[in-house]
Structure 1
Amino acid sequence: MISSEWILGEDVVDEMQVMSLNAESRSALIDRAALESQLQQAGIAELVAERCPHLYSDVMVFASATQVEQMRAVIAAVERVVSLPGWSAVASSSGAQGVFFGYDFHLNADGAHLIEINTNAGGGFLNALLLESQQAPVLPGTSLAVPHPEQVFLEMFLNEWRRARGDVPLKTVAIVDEQPESQYLYPEFLLAKAMFERAGITAMIADPSAFELRSDGLYLGAAKIDLIYNRLTDFSLASTPNLLEAMSAGRVVLTPHPEAYARYADKRNLARLTDAVALHALGADVADIAMLQAGVPQTLMVKPEMEEQLWAERKQWFFKPNSGYGSKGAYRGDKLTKRVFAEILQGDYVAQRLAVPGERLVPQAEGDAALKYDVRCYVYDGQIQLVAARLYQGQTTNFRTPGGGFGCVRSLT
């Protein structure tokens, strides 16, 4: 845990101002009219209103310069450790780096705490649209995003293509998920499709079952697909053998890909990142080990013989399935029943030391409410492109909380 003793001098003022702003329900409300106008221009306003009423929060979230620097330092340390020769037995065969890594943090008085890494993090396009709509010059702090994030996103995909295919032009992209039109974040798929089309690239949204693997490539109808933007939560592609074979045979570029998931997002990697002895044996830098010990909550791989210890300490732990996503199957220890705990002991789970999320006061119809939030850093090739918050009530993010949803993050510098 990062000690508040690190925060000295002017940083104390930053922390106090952040706490004050996050505790004011009427501070930095978003411009809903401007957001609605942007959604209308993008052609997704009706879809969002109908399907995703709590997609965007009413408020912005504030972070201190110290917390932002801690997030950057932890991300950099992870990237260096994961690049060490002995980190992964899975060799990258695709050439692609992997788009939209999501480094998710809890921010609190003790600093920034990395709770997980995702390799197909949703929300990048939706948060870029939110940022573009909010142009008020009088807001405190600074926005945490690169200039013109959509252009940066496009260049990211083009770079993925170049890494695999060199100077061959990218002509066709498929955005792939199971039953994509039924997905909660389907509006984002439409934003991605529009981005590619503005760049002169043919783009389609499809279910993996719609593809046909031929000797000369992967086809969607009559169109040969060059690149797949992978939004599937079957990270190994075991349930989509046509895509797995196409990727393995080099007939399509797929990003993000299973190798990226194995190297970064499998929850067991969190246990490795907090094991100082193993990191030292791997050859990790002493400073990186210290940063990871400070910035990643202790994580253990759950084993049946740990039953007595973990049950006695359950209020200190958060339990996550190794291959889970979107908080599915995740439990706070203090909410566990004996039955569920028994299932966890026999399943493939990790236990992560509880790092409480920050809170942001938001206005609701029945009065102000304190919502929890986490902070997601969208990262490509080690570089932060955009930082966004997700506000919620309950154990985990859910997009069902009035006043909750995605939120802009501003840093006080």
Structure 2
Amino acid sequence: MAVAPEAMHEALASAVGAHGLPGTFTDSHPNLFAALPVYVSREHLTELDRVAAAVQEVVALPDYLAAVLAWAPEIAQYDPGTPGGMLGLDFHITPEGPRLIEINTNPGGALLNALVGQALHSCMPDIVTAPTDMAEAEQHVLQVMRQEWTRQAGNRPLVSIAIVDEAPAAQYLYPEFLLFRELFIRHGIDATICDPAELEHRHGHLWVHGKVVDMIYNRLTDFPLTAPAHETIRKSYLAGEVVVTPHPRAHALYADKRNLALLGNREFLIHAGATTDVIDTLASAVPTTTLMTAENRDELWSRRRGLFFKPAAGFGSKASYRGDKLTRRVWEDMGGSAYIAQELVRPSERHTRGDNGPMKSDIRVYAYQGLPLLYAARLYQGQTTNFRTPGGGFAPVLTSAG
């Protein structure tokens, strides 16, 4: 049974207004929210949860830590004492089960998907339900932030948060920044959305607009904070003066694409001391992933049609290529960067009532410390998710009721 897109959009418009987002939001972001939800079986949801928990167990193993930190930037050696915030684990659902495509440490969309989930509740048929209570989702997100704070700052009260990105008002997910600011303020935390250039260091603290910054919610894609514009954040972070989440070490432990070559490698996991359940879970869920080197480039090119190539520190599908779409020119350009070659796993499809054919879909699990907080899907056409497909975008995940 389908959820009527018209009812879903009407409910969403009501929720958007209730959360203080501008009325032009849906006009300026016409492809942010999909017209239809995506259905995922209870069995597949259980498998997604098992993978999230298994990843968390492996990340704690000394052999894994040593291996990933060996290729990580130097700043990742610094451990601030916090997990590093919420993860986004992205899956394709195949006939053989879910496959973990990648992990992200600053996954966009959590509050946006909580918003659409709450809106959808008013127009869902009784035979389906959301896998998690979407009314509690934003509280889970807030609790993650509070845990990140207390792990490093102890019982000291969290007074102020800066939501930081380059030219934030120009970012496509700026509406979510507004939702985060509203959430923090509603719970007694001063919140400012700012560009890194607006931060200054004085008297052992970061300041923004005349206020001390206790914590940075980091939406930058300069994961090791190497850009000159981010030097103020980098120094304050390394000095323990400000809590940063997600931080460079978290990206190195979870989100560097090279890590997938270890997470799905049965022999490595056995040697690292992972449990049998963890090994079986990850070996079946993570597509075969190979680090691209000067020695194996010719061999990878020869079988490129069955591979997907991603930059080690990539994000948002930037500079990622399906092997059958690669040109020689792009291939030569890739030789100067760290890349992985991942077994091509085709996404599942969501059939629609439109004339443009089915949508591709992937499933994102937002998780913290191995525990799922909420689920969302993305519908799209083309090579990668891009929020440009009419009728595509973030979609709520539904499963069977009961």
TM range, smaller chain? over 0.9
Out of 63-72 and 134-143, give the one that drifted further: 134-143
**Mapping for residues 99-138 of structure 1, pairs under 5 Å:** 99-135=85-121, 136-138=123-125
Q: CA deviation at 1:145?
A: 2.4
Counterpart secondary structure, 1:87 = helix
Deviation at 1:27, TM superposition (A): 5.2
- Tell me the residue number matched to 1:230: 218
Per the normalisation by structure 1, the TM-score is 0.90
**Structure 1 CA distance, aligned partners of 2:127 and 2:312?**
39
Aligned equivalent of 2:44, options 67, 81, 98: 67
AA aligned opposite 1:343: D
C-alpha distance in structure 2 between counterparts of 1:67 and 1:251, whole Å = 42
Equivalent residues of 2:54, 2:370 under 8 A apart: no
- Select between 401-410 and 308-317 the one with higher mean Cα deviation: 308-317
Separation in 2, partners of 1:92, 1:79: 19
Counterpart check, 1:305 vs 2:305: no
1:55-93 deviations in whole A, cap 9, x for unaligned? 100100011122111111111111101111222245552
How far, CA to CA, are the matches of 2:257 and 2:53 in structure 1?
Answer: 18
- Alpha-carbon distance in structure 2 between the residues aligned to 1:36 and 1:288: 42
Q: Which whole-Å CA distance do the structure 2 matches of 1:317 and 1:103 have between them? A: 20
> Take 1:144 and 1:337, find their aligned partners in 2: how far apart are those partners?
42
C-alpha deviation, 1:139, in angstroms: 4.5
SS in 2 for 1:346: coil
2:54 pairs with one of 74, 77, 81? 77
User: Aligned-pair distance for 1:48?
Assistant: 1.9
Q: In the alignment, what sits opposite 2:73?
A: none
2:330 aligned residue: 340
CA distance in 2, matches of 1:314, 1:137: 43
Matched with 2:72 is none
Unmatched tracts of structure 1, length 5 or more: 1-20
- Letter of the 2:99 counterpart: H
Question: Residue by residue, what CA displacement relative to the aligned partner does 1:228-275 show, whole Å, maximum 9, x if unpaired?
Answer: 100000000111111011111011111010010000000010111122
What is the percentage of aligned positions where both structures have the same residue? 43
* Aligned mates of 2:348, 2:124 — CA distance in 1: 26
Which secondary structure does the structure 2 equivalent of 1:396 belong to? coil
Q: Given the alignment of the two structures, is residue 200 of structure 1 paired with residue 177 of structure 2, yes or no?
A: no
How far off its partner does 1:410 sit? 1.1
Matched residue type, 1:145: T
CA displacement at 1:184 relative to structure 2: 0.1
Runs of 4+ in 1 over 3 A off after TM superposition: 26-30, 89-92
- Supply the distance in 2 between the matched residues of 1:96 and 1:45 (Cα, whole angstroms): 34
CA distance in 2, matches of 1:47, 1:320: 35
Provide the rounded CA distance (Å) in 2 between the counterparts of 1:390 and 1:139. Answer: 23
Q: Which amino acid aligns with 2:340?
A: V
Distance 2:86 2:388 in 1: 24
Query: What CA distance in whole angstroms lies between the structure 1 residues aligned with 2:100 and 2:312?
Result: 16
Instruction: Output the CA distance in 2 between the equivalents of 1:115 and 1:46.
Output: 35
Deviation at 1:45, TM superposition (A): 4.2
Which of 253, 258, 263 aligns to 1:268? It is 258
- Structure 1 residue 200, shift from structure 2 partner: 1.1
Whichever residue aligns with residue 225 of structure 1, its letter is V
2:93 counterpart letter in structure 1 = L
- Aligned-pair Cα RMSD in Å: 1.6
